Structure 1
Amino acid sequence: MGSALPLGDPAPLDGLVPASAAVGAHERAFGVYVHVPFCRVRCGYCDFNTYTAGELRGARQVDYADHAIGEIRMSRRVLEASGVPHRLASTVFFGGGTPTLLPADDLVRMLGAVRDEFGFEEGAEVTTEANPDSVGPDDLRRLADGGFTRVSFGMQSAVPHVLAALDRTHDPARVPLVVRWARDAGLDVSLDLIYGTPGESLGDWRRSVEAVVAERPDHVSAYALIVEEGTKLARQIRRGELATPSDDLEADMYELADDLLGAAGYEWYEVSNWAMDASQRSRHNLGYWRGDDWWGVGPGAHSHVGGVRWWNAKHPAAYAERVTAELSPAVGREVLDAGTRETERVLLLTRIREGIRIDTLHAGGRHAVVGLIADGLVDAKAALAGVLTLTRRGRLLADAVVRRLLEE
């Protein structure tokens, strides 16, 4: 979640959404995202809406769970009053920031509010992100006992100098400990990596991927580092203190990760995500890629229901003020037109392994498929079965594939 809010129309103070949001709702899954915007330190590459203790200015971390619960209670009322039919939550995801900087009991209380207001589907997936140095065995047991099913650890690298370049504070030796503690608590485990850090070699990256494979997590994410304007990292690169990550090296890193993870039994299911089997794929993130509905709770959080997208006040103090006054924390929204929804559908479905049905593309997109196969970007066998699925080369050039599919 980037820190800059998009442009849009003002959101109504009551938070009500247009009647169009209810159309087809029963055909879409419903998830809840809870943004916990607190970090112990600000990582130099991060552009997310997060705050260290010195940046809160009028907000208190200890009050946050109560404010988030206030929005969760409000969300049920808003959807009902807008005519959106009630659905059980299929997934809940606590992200940040570092959600586990809050006491485990606070996270469990917020999850309890989601359960009270919406209920959970059978086998609902409930995830929290965590830094390896932000949890201990007691925290993880409390989360599991409170209804969490999954934890996603921000490992990023196994190499100390790479972690230092990213301003990450944990000791790589702690990762095996937290993985074991999570498993002992009965939680599924995902490990998240970043590649392309300035100063990171292909050998460094191999060491990190091999360290992940050694832990046998259920799920692995590996994202290319994006240098965001306004971050410490962008300033360091602009001043020549650090080198700009090489596109060619990043491509080599991606292919190495895919090779090592594939050899270890992991299967890619989205450009940057691998799972040990289909049951371990992140169902919450798949909801985003499939265009399902979700309510985003917290400062700067984004929501989407039936083609209506809205976003909350960014700063925790402004967010808390609105929730306390029983006003919607949403400050802006947009109703997506048919063209935008189609562009996003193609963009997102193309990224996942199940792909997009070719007969749902417009004529220009369907005609582009033959050329994409010839260029080695799309799987020919899948295309013959009517589905466009990326090859590994296509995954590396996914944005280019989407552009060609959207050309008239």
Structure 2
Amino acid sequence: MPGPLPDGEPVPPDGALPDSALHAVGARGFGVYVHVPFCSSRCGYCDFNTYAPGELPGWRTEGYADTVLAELELAARTLGTAPAVDTVFVGGGTPTLLPADDLARIVAGIDKIWGLAPGAEVTTEANPESVTPASLRALRAGGFTRVSLGMQSVAPGVLRVLDRRHSPGRAAQAATEAREAGFDHVNLDLIYGTPGETADDFAASLATAIGAGVDHVSAYSLIVEDGTRLAARIRRGELPYPSDDVAADRYLAAEAALTGAGFTWYEVSNWATTPAGRCRHNLLYWTGGDWWGIGPGAHSHVGGVRWWNVKHPAAYAHRVAEGQSPGAGREVLTAEDRHTEDVMLRLRLRGGLPLDVLDPAGRTAAEKARADGLLEIHDGAATLTLRGRLLADAVVRDLLG
């Protein structure tokens, strides 16, 4: 007997999309996400579809780029003619465990199949210890325009709780190496609210990120995901659960320090020094654009159809080798689904949410949120205030009724 179907409806073996999804591909931009599922070790807070040595029989990075390129060929047959690719984002995992030449081959493959738009943004994530000055120069020469480094913290105790392997100063050093390699756009990721983190710890992390000379900083509150090593430690009472009040204090500290250093928020958790420094790939997600996800567990969205690949790298590679879509399941978003996502995501942006997106009850709720100091309304758009950013999820719920 066959097993149960994955969540969502099944994906056709050839990955064919409904005609309705294809007629306006790229109207809000078109990007490619490439997932690299390998890590040298697993961080205690991570629940991403990644595999460290010992977690995946036959764990190896060799040949992975060839499988990605083969899935790209399948995607090209499914999508047919597509607009030029505005953004590429290689995430993981730790993409830079692949040789820089393999990552460059993937970028070249995307360019060959769909074409990179002039001035396309091409980003790779990296752990600070997984890059060198030589590998960063090779990535820059291979077409990458942006690098996003997982810094998280400079406090040794925080790094230990998060199971991060790099030294406290390595992330800033890697950022300097990236700029010297020719990257104009460098991001540092921070996590705040880790059990045991002090206000001084986070202030030091912010100061180090600012001092590294990067043009983008992301700062996220720690989320304790079920099934992670961190969740198990908290459940056993070894660590306290993160405090919402502490997280709010940390966010306010980030806003003050980054704004004071010339950064401007453009999404609730993201700051950049210039408009050019903003992550265009993430903006594609937040503004309802289309993207094709490549790799095990990668998600895609084209024309109101969302689908996701099988998670296990071996199952993924087998399907691709057989010339079949690696899609595990998909859903066709309803107009209500798309409206809900539009409100949820666009309200998080500094550009705000046009009020005409809302129904009458939503516009009434927006006026109340403005009166409560959670929204500003200018030129027909609602934008979160600083206090509103702390309560963004609640504001969204009110606007959606």
TM-score bracket for this pair, using the shorter chain length: over 0.9
Q: Equivalences for 1:299-338 in 2 at 5 Å? A: 299-338=296-335
In structure 1, give the amino acid aligned to 2:85: A
Which residue, out of 120, 123, 126, partners 2:116?
120
In the TM superposition, structure 1's runs of 4+ consecutive aligned residues that sit over 3 Å from their partners are none
Counterparts of 1:73 and 1:47, CA distance in 2:
29
Instruction: Give, in angstroms, the shift of residue 6 of structure 1.
Output: 7.6
Q: Does 1:222 align with 2:216?
A: no
Between the aligned partners of 1:225 and 1:62, the Cα distance in structure 2 is 33
The reply on whether 1:154 has 2:154 as its aligned counterpart is: no
Q: What are the within-5 Å matches in structure 2 for residues 104-119 of structure 1?
A: 104-119=100-115
Kept in 2, the 8 Å contact 1:163–1:169? The answer is: yes
Q: Which residue of 2 aligns with 1:62?
A: 62
The separation in 1 between residues aligned to 2:107 and 2:58, in whole angstroms, is 25
Query: 2:304 touches 2:333 (CA, 8 Å); kept in 1?
Result: yes
Q: Secondary structure at the match of 2:17?
A: coil
Q: Is the 8 A contact 1:58 1:317 kept in 2?
A: no
8 A Cα contact 1:236 1:242, kept in partner: yes
The equivalent position to 2:286 in structure 1, one of 285, 289, 294, is 289
| Paired residues for 1:189-208 under 5 Å | 189-208=186-205
3-state DSSP class of the match of 1:125? Answer: strand
Q: Alignment partner of 1:152: what SS?
A: strand
Is 1:256 aligned to residue 253 of structure 2? yes
Q: Which residue of 2 aligns with 1:45?
A: 45
* Offset from partner CA, 1:251-306 (integer Å, 9 cap, x none): 00000000000000000000000000111100000000001000000000000001
SS in 2 for 1:27: coil
2:180 maps to 1:184: yes
Q: Does 358-367 or 18-27 show the bigger shift?
A: 18-27
Q: Which residue of 2 aligns with 1:174?
A: 170
- Other structure's SS at 2:211 match: helix
| TM-score, normalised with respect to structure 1 | 0.95
Of the three residues 377, 384, 388, the one matched with 2:382 is 388
The residue type paired with residue 392 of structure 1 is L
- 2:6–2:328 Cα contact (<8 Å) kept: no
1:27 aligns with 2:27: yes
Cα deviation, residue 172, structure 1: 1.7
Matched residue type, 2:42: R
The answer on whether the counterparts of 2:150 and 2:171 sit within 8 Å (CA) in structure 1 is: no
Equivalent AA in structure 1 for residue 382 of structure 2: L
1:234 corresponds to which residue? 231
Aligned partner of 1:78 in structure 2 is 78
**Structure 1 Cα separation of the partners of residues 6 and 180 of structure 2:** 42
CA distance, structure 2, for counterparts of residue 34 and residue 6 of structure 1:
22
Structure-2 separation of matches of 1:177 and 1:351: 31
Please give the alpha-carbon distance, in whole angstroms, between the structure 2 residues aligned to 1:71 and 1:25. Answer: 19
Amino acid at match of 1:299: P
Provide closer, same or farther for how the CA distance between residues 372 and 13 of structure 1 changes in structure 2, counting only shifts above 3 A: same
Contact 1:219 1:275 in 2 (8 A): yes
Partner Cα separation in structure 1 for residue 173 and residue 390 of structure 2: 33
> How far apart are 1:53 and its partner, in Å?
2.0
Describe the SS at the equivalent of 2:130.
coil
**Alignment match, 1:278:** 275
* Letter aligned with residue 177 of structure 1: Q
Instruction: Give unmatched runs, 5+ long, in structure 1.
Output: none
Aligned length: 396
Q: Percent identity?
A: 58
Indicate the residue corresponding to 2:397 in structure 1.
403
Q: Post-superposition shift, 1:178?
A: 1.1
Change (3 A) 1:154 1:126: same
Question: Which amino acid in the other structure matches residue 297 of structure 1?
Answer: I
Q: How far did residue 175 of structure 1 move? A: 2.2
Q: Are the aligned partners of 1:152 and 1:191 in contact in 2 as well (CA < 8 Å)?
A: yes
Deviation string 1:120-166 (CA, Å, 9 cap, x unpaired) is: 11110000000110010110000000100010000000111100100
Is residue 156–residue 192 contact of structure 1 (8 Å, CA) maintained in 2?
yes
CA positional deviation for 1:388: 0.5
Q: Report what 2:140 is aligned to.
A: 144
Shift of 1:59: 5.6
SS across alignment from 1:168: coil
